[in-house]
Amino acid sequence: MAHTFPIRVYYEDTDMAGIVYYANYLRYIERARSDWVRELGIDQNAMRRDDGVVFAVRRVEADYHHPARFDDELEVRTSVVTVTGARLVMDQRVLRGEELIFSAQVTIVCINETGHPARLPANIRLMLH
């Protein structure tokens, strides 16, 4: 099931043409992932403290389909594609109504305090399946 997260486009999100600046879509999908993780009951501060790991974006493959503009009401839909011992692949889509505006496949990994790859904690892998 997809997680949904509403976004309103503010003036500060747009460029001189009134179109959402391309990098802001990465902010939108990051906020949606953070909200989704929180709703799952995953405490990222506790994960860092107790397990010594944090989530990090490893890869983003993105497509811009249509422009969003000032005051648009958008929705970010996030769903899990794949979960392995060390990686989580997510599909994220930004829509205006049912019109696809932006899509991305995001690979998330865990890293330890030294920045090296680490396995996803088992309890979190179970939540994501």
Catalytic residue among 13, 15, 63, 72: 15
**C-alpha of 45 from chain center:** 17
**C-alpha of 80 from chain center:** 10
Q: Tell me whether strands 53-64 and 117-118 are parallel, antiparallel or unpaired.
A: unpaired
Tokens representing 73 are 């009401």
CA-based end-to-end distance of the chain? 11
Distance CA(72)–CA(11), nearest Å, equals 10
15 is catalytic: yes
Q: Which residues are catalytic?
A: 15
